[in-house]
Every structure is written in C-alpha cells, then in structure tokens.
Amino acid sequence: MPIHDWTRVDAGIFHHFHQAWGMAISIALNDGILPSEYYALAEQVVGRVEPEADEVLGRLGPDVVALQRPPLPANFTPTRGGVMTLEAAPPRTKYHLRTEEETYAKKANRVVIRHRSDHRVIALIEVVSPGNKDSTDGLQSFLRKANEVLEGGVHLLIIDLFPAGPRDPEGLHPLIREDLSQPVDPDGEPFRFDPDKPLLLMSYVAAPGSRAFVEPVAVGDELPPMPLFLTNKEYVPVPLSSTYETAWRALPAFWREVLTPPRPE
C-alpha cells in the first residue's frame, strides 16, 4: 500500500491512524518476529511515572507506565524469532551511517520493547505526529526525548511521514544525530536530504560507536521494512507496509476517501 499524504487531514485523524498503527506493529512483533525473551507493548499513558520505573522511562516523563515485574517462568525456553545480525544481513536502507569517531555520542503514541527477564526497556518505536513538528517547543521536546532515549542505551526507530518544514528543513535526522553522517561502507554515501523523498524512516543503535540506518521515502511509495535493534548487532525487521495497511482499514471510509488520490481519467 502506498504512503498517503497525511498533510491533507487534521492532526486528530492522523492520531486515530497512529494509535491503530502502533497496535498493529505491536501485534506483528509479538506474533513471532521478536525473540521470545522480548515483548512489545503499545504506549500506556499514566499521570506520573512510579519511582521504581526504569531510569530511562523516568527521564521520558509521565507518558510511559511503570510495570509490575513478575519473575521469568522457570520453564521458559528462549527462541530467536526473526532476529538478524549486522554482519550476516545488514539492513538495506539507502544510508548506513556512523560517527566520524567510534565513540558513544552524548547528543542524541510509541511502541515499547521490553526484555522478559527484568522487563527493562530495550527499544522504542516512535511515529512522528504533527504536534512534534508544528512548533519550536514541540520539536525541541521531541528531540530532547529522542536524545535521552539514545543516551540511556535504548535503541530507537522513528517513522516520520510528514515532510520537512521550516523547523526541520533537511528532515529530523540531522537534528537528532548530526554526528551520524558518515557512511560505514567506503562506497556508501553521506546523508543528503532529498526533496523528492522528504519523509524519513530512521533506525538508531544506542551503543558505543552508534549507527543510523536512514531510508528516505515519499508519498506514493510503499513502506520498506525497517530494522529495530535489540542489541548493538542484532535487530528484527519491522513490517511497516503490512501494519500500515492494517491501520488504514481502521480509518472511517470517509477519511480513506479524502486521503485517496483520484484515479486519472
């Protein structure tokens, strides 16, 4: 299914789609893509973060719930799910980037990936909303949280289906990790913003020598799978296209018609 032009509807319509997409992604990940020692939850909203919550979640603010921590069952046998490794199967994004020096960079409605052993947060999937980019305060808050996530050792996949604007003229990637600009492969390209593909899919490895995998897309393109890292070398591919289509079916027919371009006569 091609990407739709979400600037044609107001933020409330995208919010409905966003919620459905996050749930569809969670279901897909829990249905055999994630190794059995991990699980995905759609973001849960609470009034405050409990004191015993993960340190990283505490820094994120009151929009991720603290969980009770039951012990891992004694008879639990881990399985590998759809896990891949950088060495054996590097993600096929246009850009595979790293810092010029192999050092850990201090600069730096979601799906939360946790480990079953202690329920700590391993990774987050963030779908950018209009409110993240329509004001300076909204953008700075988004960037600050993204940096805190990566600095806290949590891997991050960001899906931005809104075009670059005056506050992010080259998309969000240079604002999130400007230092991640050099190609890993000597034959690769440094990141360059392409106005013909102004939407960005960005996967970040939060580890020493952290890396970025960035795929530019445009309205009308089909979403490719994107890597979601579980360690600094292992990842699972997130099926963005099929989950997008599932969320699309959750939209009322009226709004699907508004977002569907007319067929050429």
Cβ distance 178 to 108 under 8 Å? no
Q: Residue 228 — pLDDT band, cuts 50, 70, 90?
A: very high
pLDDT at 97 over 50: yes
Dihedral (CA of 33, 145, 94, 22) sign: positive
Cβ distance 37 to 45 under 8 Å? no
d(CA 115, CA 28): 17
Whole-number percent of the chain with pLDDT over 70 = 77
- Residue 209: its pLDDT value, please? 65
pLDDT at 90 over 70: yes
The residues spanned by each domain of the chain are: 6-66+82-259
- Residue 180: its pLDDT value, please? 83
- Residue 262: its pLDDT value, please? 79
Runs of H (alpha helix) within 110-157: 136-151
Q: Which residue has the higher pLDDT, 30 or 50?
A: 30
pLDDT digits (tens, 9 = 90+) for 154-172: 999 999 999 999 999 999 9
pLDDT digits (tens, 9 = 90+) for 179-215: 888 888 777 888 999 999 999 999 999 967 689 999 9
pLDDT digits (tens, 9 = 90+) for 42-78: 865 333 333 333 444 444 443 444 444 445 455 555 5
- Residue 73: its pLDDT value, please? 53
